[in-house]
Chains A and B, each alone.
Chain A
């Protein structure tokens, strides 16, 4: 059994063929990293998994996508997303909600907490898991614009975790934050895999090497190479993968 199984997935946006025959299997409780240059289709793979691709009205998905045993393309997307958290490249906490409410809303929407005491506990747990609790515990009722970029991103991670997801999608979560915050986020990601399957998109080979159990390299909408992280980093078989890992593309 796999957390995610994709078979011959093709994605078209208008006339453009974005993903070409993507097939991959993502084991439970692993950190699975998708690497590739900009525009290679990494984010699109994530958006197929949680059906955020549907937001784009020109998008068309073909193939088989199984997520946590569900047929993801047939299941009600709102129901499917109850099991899948996501953190985006640019931090996007809800600007009108306090730090507390930003995390609590995810728990409330998904029925994770039954009462205020439960909710407080979930909010604290999520902020601790996102390594943000110590920094915000005395200012839970501040607004996100009062946080730094890295703190906002960890707030988004806490929001995603408050849903108690089984699957966590991270779309270049450290792209817009400083190295200290990036390290905290990486530590949080690694600590999560005992409970959650993590799929992370990243540009950075070094980051992938630090956190990944498995790696897939995508180029121009196709999978170039995939396998256990050690194998990919130590013995990449394709020239494209070697170039990517050397930072040449």
Chain B
């Protein structure tokens, strides 16, 4: 009986191990292939990979990704705080006043936004921002990225806030804390790890978003643009465009940019795990 149980336990363990290996193999393959192809390009190009503009299609130079890199950084720097602030306050409002009609509306809208294809968001922003402005712009990209990442951040924040046991609210109220102080001095510190995780995951989402930028930022690659009202570029767009071309140097640029994005993701992922110590309830 005992031997049979032990055998079943081993079989179960082996099945789990095999399934886990099957699940993570594509991820490992993706990481290895991207880093192998991309890092060699970055190393060959040297620092100019980050400071030069992309090469001409037939050029022998590797060139660089400066316009897309600066564009991505600007888009992230602008869209991330806007997204986080709106998502955090919305989730707090919905958590604190769940029966308020405005909260119900916010919750429904946020959840609905999550199911809208990001390319549709790009088209809407094109009509509402790009057409009236008469130009593609960083601003249009920021609006699209905010709309796309908002439901994501909102859902994360809401889940973390809902996970706080109600006993802490009662404890806070019992010492005469106001609702606002309860949120700022009890709830948010309790979920501080969740807040940071949300910020980092939203940043990763914004950095990697492609479809929302298709009709909004304008793929400006002939120089580095720092204008909010003018066109710009982003790394995912560069990768999307260049990997589909027949030009070898463009494909190399795309691999290099992909490796850079992947490294950024890995850093964000590790930072998320390590950065803030969770609160032990």
A100 to chain B, nearest CB (A): 15
Chain B residues in 8 Å Cβ range of A109: 175-177, 181
Task: Select one of B175, B186, B281 contacting A159, CB under 8 A.
Answer: B175
Q: Is the CB of B176 within 8 A of A82?
A: yes
Closest Cβ of chain A to B168, distance in Å, is 6
Residues 155-195 of chain B: 1 if any A CB is under 8 Å from the residue's CB, otherwise 0? 00000000001111111111111100100011001101000
Of the candidates B99, B174, B192, which one forms a contact with A96 in the assembled complex, judged by CB atoms under 8 Å apart? Answer: B192
A79-122 interface bits toward B, Cβ cutoff 8 Å, 1 = contact, 0 = none: 10110111010101111110000000110011000000000000
Nearest-Cβ distance from residue B9 to partner chain A, whole angstroms: 33
A156 to B190, CA, bound (A): 17
Are A94 and B171 in touch, CB under 8 angstroms? Answer: yes
Contact A143 B168 (CB under 8 A): no
From known contacts A88-B167, A92-B167, A94-B168, infer whether A145 and B174 are also in contact, taking CB-CB under 8 Å: no
Of all chain B residues, which has the CB nearest A111?
Answer: B176
A-B pair number, CB within 8 angstroms: 71
Considering the chains assembled together, what is the distance between the CA atoms of A97 and B175 in angstroms?
15
- Kindly provide the distance from the CB of A42 to the nearest chain B CB, expressed in whole angstroms: 16
Q: Does B23 contact A (CB under 8 A)?
A: no
CA distance A189 to B223 in the complex (A): 75
Q: How large is the interface on A (under 10, 10 to 19, 20 to 34, 35 or more residues)?
A: 20 to 34
Is residue B279 contacting chain A, with contact meaning CB distance below 8 A?
yes
Q: Which residues of chain B are near A11, meaning CB under 8 Å?
A: none
Query: Is residue A16 contacting chain B, with contact meaning CB distance below 8 A?
Result: no
Do B176 and A163 touch across chains, with their CB atoms under 8 A apart? Answer: yes
Q: Is B171 touching A52 in the complex (CB atoms < 8 A)? A: no
**Residue of B at shortest CB range from A107?**
B175
Judge whether B60 is part of the interface by a CB distance below 8 angstroms: no
The answer to whether the Cβ of A151 comes within 8 Å of any Cβ in the partner chain is no
Q: How far is the CA of A97 from the CA of B244 in the complex (A)?
A: 54
B3 surroundings in chain A (CB, below 8 A): none
Measured CB to CB, the nearest residue on chain B to A156 is B171
Verify if B6 is at the interface (C-beta below 8 Å from A): no
Which residues of the other chain, B, contact A202 by a CB distance below 8 angstroms?
none
Q: Give every chain A residue within 8 A of B189 (Cβ-Cβ).
A: 96-97
Contact of B170 among A52, A57, A93 (CB under 8 A): A52
Q: Does B29 contact A (CB under 8 A)?
A: no
Q: List 19 A-B contacts (CB under 8 A).
A: A50-B174, A52-B173, A55-B173, A78-B173, A78-B178, A81-B175, A88-B174, A92-B165, A92-B171, A94-B172, A95-B279, A95-B281, A96-B190, A96-B279, A109-B181, A110-B176, A159-B171, A160-B174, A163-B176
**Minimum-distance CB pairs A-B, first 3:** A86-B174, A81-B176, A106-B175
